[in-house]
Chains A and B, each alone.
Chain A
C-alpha cells in the first residue's frame, strides 16, 4: 500500500518535508503536488535518497509522483544527507568548492557599482583555472539567473563546464521568476544547507 501525501497548494519546502517524513515510515509513497518547483524538489529528494519514482500529470496541473524505495536502500530509504567523510577520511578539508552568491551585487556600499562588479565576477568565473564545483544562488542572487539578467549566458557556460548551479526555490518564487530563468536548477533548503555543510571551501564574493 502506497502512503498518500497530498501536498497540493503547499509552499516550499513543505512538500519535501512531508515526502521525507512519509519515506521515513513507508516503502512506497505517492505525492500529489500542483507546482512545478515542488515537483522538481520532490523528484530530487527521491533520487538523492536512492528511490525510484514515476511522474504522471493529471488534469488541472496536478502531478502525481509515485516513489518506491530502491533495492540499494537496504531496507530503509536513507534520506539524511551523507556525511562528507567516512571514518578515517584522510583529508579534513576535502570536499567540493562552493561559490555562494547571496546577492546580485558584489560588496556593500554602492549597489550600482556592486551590480557591475557582480556581472564581471560571474563572467570571470567561467574561465577561472579553479572553477567551483557548485554555485548556490539565493536572495537577490537568483536575479542573476533570469533570462534578462545579462549574466545568464555565463551561468549556462558554467553549467556546460560541469559546474552545478542551484537556485533557491523560495527566492525564485518571491521574485516571481518561475519559468523566467535560463540556467541552473531550482532547489530547496535541504540541498542548499546540505551542500554548504559538506563543502570543502566556500567562496562568497
Chain B
C-alpha cells in the first residue's frame, strides 16, 4: 500500500490455486494479503498473494508440495 515498502507477490495459474494458497498460508500462520494482480504485471488471473520478501522461503516451503506457483515477483 505505502509505496516505500517492498513486497513480493506470488502468481498462480488459476483463482482456485490462489484460494488454496490462502488456505495453506493461513494454516501455516504466515502473514499474507490477497491483492489484485498489479497492473504492471497483468496476468490472466486477477488476484495474487502478497507477502514480505523475508518470508519468501517460508512461503515457498508451505506451498511447494501442494500447488504450482507460477511466479514470484518483487514489487
CA distance A123 to B22 in the complex (A): 16
Complex Cα distance A62/B35, Å? 43
Residues in A neighbouring B59, C-beta threshold 8 A: none
- Residue contacts A-B, CB under 8 angstroms, 19 given: A112-B19, A116-B18, A116-B19, A116-B22, A116-B47, A119-B35, A120-B34, A120-B46, A123-B1, A123-B33, A123-B35, A123-B36, A126-B1, A150-B32, A150-B33, A150-B34, A153-B33, A154-B1, A157-B1
In terms of DSSP, what is the predominant structure of the interface of chain B? mixed
Q: Does B15 reach chain A (CB closer than 8 Å)? A: yes
Among the listed A112, A120, A153, A157, which residue makes an inter-chain contact with B36, where contact means beta carbons less than 8 Å apart?
A: A120
Contact of A36 with B by CB under 8 A? no
Given contacts A126-B1, A153-B1, A154-B1, contact A120 B19 (CB under 8 A): no
B18: A residues at CB distance < 8 A: 116
* 0 or 1 for each of B4-38: is its CB under 8 Å from A? (1 = yes): 00000000000100110010000000001111100
Q: How far is the CB of B21 from chain A (nearest CB, A)?
A: 11
DSSP majority for the A interface?
helix
- List of B residues within 8 angstroms of A157 by Cβ: 1
Q: Mark A110-123, 1 if CB is under 8 A from B, else 0.
A: 00110011011001
Hey, what's the 0/1 contact readout for B27-62 against A, CB within 8 Å counting as 1? 000001111100000000011000000000000000
CB distance from A26 to the nearest CB of B (A): 48
Distance, CA A119 to CA B19, complexed state (A): 12
| B residues in contact (CB < 8 Å) with A | 1, 15, 18-19, 22, 32-36, 46-47
Complex CA–CA separation, A114 to B32 (angstroms)? 18
Min Cβ gap A111→B in Å is 11
Residue of chain A at shortest CB distance from B36: A120
Min CB distance A125 to B, Å, is 11
Q: Is A173 an interface residue (CB 8 A)?
A: no
CB distance from B73 to the nearest CB of A (A): 17
- The minimal Cβ–Cβ distance linking A120 to chain B, given in whole angstroms, is 5
Closest 10 CB pairs of A and B: A119-B34, A120-B36, A123-B35, A120-B47, A157-B1, A112-B19, A124-B36, A116-B47, A126-B1, A116-B34
Given contacts A123-B34, A150-B33, contact A113 B1 (CB under 8 A): no
A179 to chain B, nearest CB (A): 22
